A and B are shown apart, each in its own frame.
Chain A
Amino acid sequence: MPNLLGGIAASALLFLAVSVPAQAADPLAVGRQMLAEDNPGELWIEKGKTLFYEKRGPRGVSLEQCDFGMGPGKLEGASTRLPRYFPDTDKVQDLESRLVTCMVQLQGFKREDVIRRAISPGGSSGSDMEALALYITSRSNGMKMNVSLNHQKEREMYKAGEYLFFRRSGQTDFGCVQCHGDANKRIRLQDLIHMTSKQGVQEVVSTWPAYRGAHYVVRTMQWRLYDCFWQMRLPELAYASDVSIALTTYLHYQGNGAVTRVPGFKR
């Protein structure tokens, strides 16, 4: 019986592959495209916009004075240049760690509270951070990733990210590259993006934050990295930690030129 079912499933996949010649190499792309055309993640953009302009936190101010590198409140193109070095914090920051800075310094939230709530439980209505990160990134939709490495700390972050991408540890002996270093690979039926190819890494950097179907919420790059380390059996990646920013810097710089189109849609 399992063989029969398997045979039916295989013929179904084959059928899809044959009927859509342009995507013959990737039979799952058909379903993925159908889902992407009706992306529930769109709903989070409006939520993020409201959160951005609302007066919130102990200080009762909006995020309009938050500087993502283009000047206070300037959001167009901001995410395409992140991570980048910020003189006020003397740190290289990605979008999410910069949001933490602003929510703490401008709005007066407690850092540990922001971080604890940043990644929402699956099936919930999502976190403020997830909605804000999506809204801000969506303001760069149609624009090209354009990360530069001018500051010494940006270069250190980039090289650390590259080192970490290939660093193997833990009981599975995995680094990032074990799953993401080759084309057309899968974990079970889940496609693995080939991140050492330009096309693959551009797919990554242009589609986060994304609506994650299995979780019914929008997920961010910080979550994506956290979840990989979980599956690798390693300790928990701290939100907005340097390892997360180093890997993001490495991937984003590699993906320069990719056109932002968020929310992405993931399984």
Chain B
Amino acid sequence: MKKTWFKWAALGVPVLVIAGCATYPDPATTRRVAEKMVNESFTAPAPALLKRLAQDKSQQICSKIGGAQLTQEEAAEVARLARASIKYPPSGKLVGDWKRGDKLAHDGAGDRIQRGRLEKRKENGGLCQNCHALAPGEINVGNVGPSLTGYGLQRGTSDSIAKLTYERIYNAWAYSPCSNMPRLGATGHLTPEQITHMVAYLIDPQSPVNKK
């Protein structure tokens, strides 16, 4: 009997010590631990590039674990910040050249960092093809975002559609807070002028997107 007790104690005590001490950290601790990791786990050819890791207010709100719902206040805050971020081209003209937009929409390169070097190009690609169906019949297109095939056919070419399209590309979160769509203008990935070309690519009746 005595021997059995001893055996249980020998087995049980270490188990209790391990199980008793190990708990999941609370969210604030996890955040502190993980953010420290972010600060220590990346390298870049220039220190300024490390700033890409820092989150702005909206990105913090939009990083909910497990895809938890935004509160109404959070959604409103993200939309407000997004609207305030939108800048228009100096010319005021929101519809550019659809041919340049076509090229941009199919360009997924620019600004990546590899083996100590920043990918420098004349301009960043628009990345559209990665996630959206574009002209009819194109096979090499992603489906993370909605299809844009026939975008202009369904919406027309009015000034209000041009403006809405420009703003949705510049900062999609003004209309869909925290959607998967990158805030391409607001984060500086694309220039206002580039976005006007992509607007043209989407709404111009001559654009392949709007051909049947």
**A contacts, CB < 8 Å to B:** 2-3, 6-7, 9-10, 13, 149-152, 154-156, 158-160, 162-164, 166-175, 177-179, 181-182, 184-189, 192, 196, 229-231, 233-238, 241-244, 246
For B131, list chain A residues within 8 Å (CB): 187
- Whether A150 contacts B22 in the complex (CB less than 8 A), given A6-B138, A156-B33, A188-B140, comes out as yes
A127 vs chain B, min Cβ distance (A): 14
Q: Which residue of A lies closest to B26 (CB)?
A: A159
Residues from 52 to 72 in B contacting A, C-beta threshold 8 Å: 52-55, 59, 62-67
A166 touches B65 (CB 8 A): yes
Number of interface residues of B (CB under 8 A): 60
For B127, list chain A residues within 8 Å (CB): 172
B41 touches A238 (CB 8 A): yes
Can you name 29 A-B pairs with beta carbons within 8 Å?
A3-B136, A7-B137, A13-B139, A152-B21, A155-B23, A156-B30, A159-B25, A159-B33, A167-B34, A167-B55, A169-B54, A169-B59, A171-B182, A172-B189, A178-B144, A185-B144, A186-B142, A186-B144, A187-B142, A189-B139, A189-B140, A230-B113, A235-B50, A236-B42, A237-B42, A242-B37, A242-B40, A243-B37, A246-B37
Query: Is B38 in the interface zone, CB < 8 Å from A?
Result: yes
Residues from 178 to 198 in B contacting A, C-beta threshold 8 Å: 180-183, 187-189
A117 vs chain B, min Cβ distance (A): 12
Q: Which residue of B lies closest to A3 (CB)?
A: B137
- Whether A188 contacts B144 in the complex (CB less than 8 A), given A160-B37, A166-B64, A238-B41, comes out as no
For A159, list chain B residues within 8 Å (CB): 24-25, 30, 33-34
- Whether A171 contacts B44 in the complex (CB less than 8 A), given A159-B24, A236-B114, comes out as no
For B64, list chain A residues within 8 Å (CB): 166
Q: Which residue of A lies closest to B124 (CB)?
A: A171
A176 vs chain B, min Cβ distance (A): 11
For A178, list chain B residues within 8 Å (CB): 144, 180
A168–B53 Cα distance when bound, in Å, is 9
A166–B27 Cα distance when bound, in Å, is 13
Q: Which residue of A lies closest to B66 (CB)?
A: A166
Q: Which residue of B lies closest to A163 (CB)?
A: B34
CB-contact partner of B23 in A152, A160, A169, under 8 A: A152
For B189, list chain A residues within 8 Å (CB): 171-172, 233
A74–B53 Cα distance when bound, in Å, is 39
A186–B55 Cα distance when bound, in Å, is 26
Query: Is B159 in the interface zone, CB < 8 Å from A?
Result: no
CB-contact partner of B130 in A2, A184, A187, A246, under 8 A: A187
B34 touches A164 (CB 8 A): yes
B52 touches A170 (CB 8 A): yes
For B115, list chain A residues within 8 Å (CB): 236
- Whether A235 contacts B113 in the complex (CB less than 8 A), given A150-B22, A243-B38, comes out as yes
B31 touches A10 (CB 8 A): no
For B154, list chain A residues within 8 Å (CB): none
For A168, list chain B residues within 8 Å (CB): 55, 59, 62-63
Query: Is B112 in the interface zone, CB < 8 Å from A?
Result: yes
A185–B131 Cα distance when bound, in Å, is 9
CB-contact partner of B38 in A6, A13, A164, under 8 A: A164
CB-contact partner of A188 in B49, B55, B62, B142, under 8 A: B142
